Structure 1
Amino acid sequence: MGARLMFWAGFWVFLADQASKYLVVHWMELSRIRSIDVLPPLLNFRYGENTGINFGLFDGGSDTARWLLIGFSLVVCLAVAVWVQRSHPRRLMQLSAGLLIGGALGNVVDRLLYGYVLDFLNMSCCGIENPFVFNVADIFVFAGAAGLVLFEGRSKKPA
C-alpha cells in the first residue's frame, strides 16, 4: 500500500508540474512575452531558465553540470524511495516522499527536454521585491522534504 501512495502522489505532482509549465510557458506564451502580472505583487508569472539548483545556485550552465544535476536528482529519488519503503513509514511520510520524487522528476524532465528547468512563479509582498522565480515542482520538492523531516517518526532510543 505504501508504494502505491508514494507512486500516485509522485505521479499527480509530476503531472501538475508539467501541465502548469505547458499552460503558462507555452500556451500563455510566457516564453515570448516574459512577464504576466496575475495578482501583483503577490503572484506574477516571470519567465526563467534555471541551469542550476534552487535560486540559481551552482548555475554553471555547462552540459556537464546539467547531466550531473540530472544524475544527482535521480539518485536522490531512488534513495528516498528505498529509504521510505524500508522504514515502514506512516502514510504522511509516504505522501511526502511522493511529493518530493514527483517534483524532482518534473525538473529532471525539463533538464532533459530543454537543458534547464522552466521557472515561472514569482511572489513578492509587503514592499519586498522578490527577484527569484520557481515552479510547481519546487513547491512540492520543498513540501515533500519538509514532510519527510516532520513525519519521519523514528522512535527515540532511551539513553
Structure 2
Amino acid sequence: MNETYVECLVKRKTPGYMSFLKILLIMLTVGFVLVGMVFIIALIPAILFGVAAYFVYMNTDLEYEYLYLDRELTVDKVMAKSKRKRAAVYSLDKMEIVAPVKSWHLDNFKNRQTSKNVDYSSGEEKQPDKRFVFYYEGNQKVIFEPSEEMVKAMQFVAPRKVFKD
C-alpha cells in the first residue's frame, strides 16, 4: 500500500473590525451585568450580549488544518483551539488544476465564472506568497496555503495537475 500522509496547520488573520466587535460585546456584557445588579430586567440583554461575544470569539480565533491522505485533501476549521469542524473534503481526481495564486498556469481560468469561491488560507498576502488555488469540479475555486511537503506529495501523485512554478 502506497499512502501519503501530510498535515498542515494555518492560522487565519483576524480582521480588525472583528477584534473591535469582540471587545465591544464584552464591554456591553459587563455593563449590562453591572446594571442588572440594580435592575433585574437588564440581565436579559447581558445574557444576549454574552452569547454573541462567545460566538464572535469562536469565529475570530480560527485555524485551518489541511490533511492530505491518499489522493484526498480534508480541510478542518479549528475554532479557538477548542472546537473542530469539518469544512470540506476534496478529491485530487476532481481537481482541475493546483497552482500558486499568481501563477501563469491559471491564466486560462481567470475569466471562468465559478459559483462558489472559498478561502481557507491565512487571509493575507505574504512575501513570497505561499497561497495556492485549485478549481474543483469546474464550479468551485478554493484558495488554501499548503506546506511545501504537501505540494510535493500532491505533485507526485498528479504531476500534470499540480504546479509549483
Bigger Cα Rg: 2
- TM-score using structure 2 length: 0.24
Relative contact order, CA 8 A, sep 6+: which one is greater?
Answer: 1
